[in-house]
Amino acid sequence: MAVGRRTVKASQLILESVRIRVTPTKREQLRRALAAWAGPAEVEPGCLSCRILQQDNDPQTFYFEARWKTQDDLLRHLRADHYKRLLVLMELGSGPPLVEFHTVAGTAGLELIQRVRNARPGAEPDSEEI
């Protein structure tokens, strides 16, 4: 479930990632519950995108990934009553979930590829340029 892309200042972007692995008997239960849970999450203020993924080579592993515009938006999300449901869903896992939050310092796209490929040999871009 992906929401349309929205532009954001890269220095503010925060990525939330939750990985839950379940037994085969709980796979469908978790899939349905995560799909229902993600709908309200993706319309929260500051949510730039939200999606549920399932690994091809390990169908018992699910990922919830969201991008948040600011730290305040993320903190509001974590404090919301709605988030309690995700905490309960994490308990369906066959082991502890993997929960990670990443702050993105910068984002580059095709312009970086073009700049690097057109640069003279041996001239690498500074890390601040990326």
- Which one is predicted more confidently, 70 or 122? 70
Q: Whole-prediction pTM value?
A: 0.77
What does each C-alpha distance from 63 to 9, 21, 66, 88, 106 come to in angstroms? 25, 9, 10, 15, 23
Distance CA 67, CA 78 (A): 13
126 pLDDT higher than 80: no
Please compute Rg for the chain using Cα positions.
Answer: 18
**Residue 35 domain-assigned?**
yes
Output the pLDDT for position 10.
Answer: 44
**Residue 3 domain-assigned?**
no
Number of domains in the chain: 1
Output the pLDDT for position 74.
Answer: 95
Output the pLDDT for position 118.
Answer: 87
Start-to-end CA distance of the chain, whole Å, equals 29
Tens digit of pLDDT for each residue in 11-55? 579 999 999 999 999 999 999 999 999 999 999 999 999 999 998
**Residue 58 domain-assigned?**
yes
**Residue 20 domain-assigned?**
yes
**Residue 1 domain-assigned?**
no
Say which CATH number the domain at 80 has.
Answer: 3.30.70.100
Output the pLDDT for position 1.
Answer: 38
- Which one is predicted more confidently, 118 or 83? 83
107 pLDDT higher than 70: yes
Mean predicted confidence (pLDDT) in 43-69: 94
Output the pLDDT for position 6.
Answer: 44
Q: Which residue has the tokens 């709605």?
A: 82
Distance CA 73, CA 35 (A): 21
Its domain, for residue 98, covers 10-129
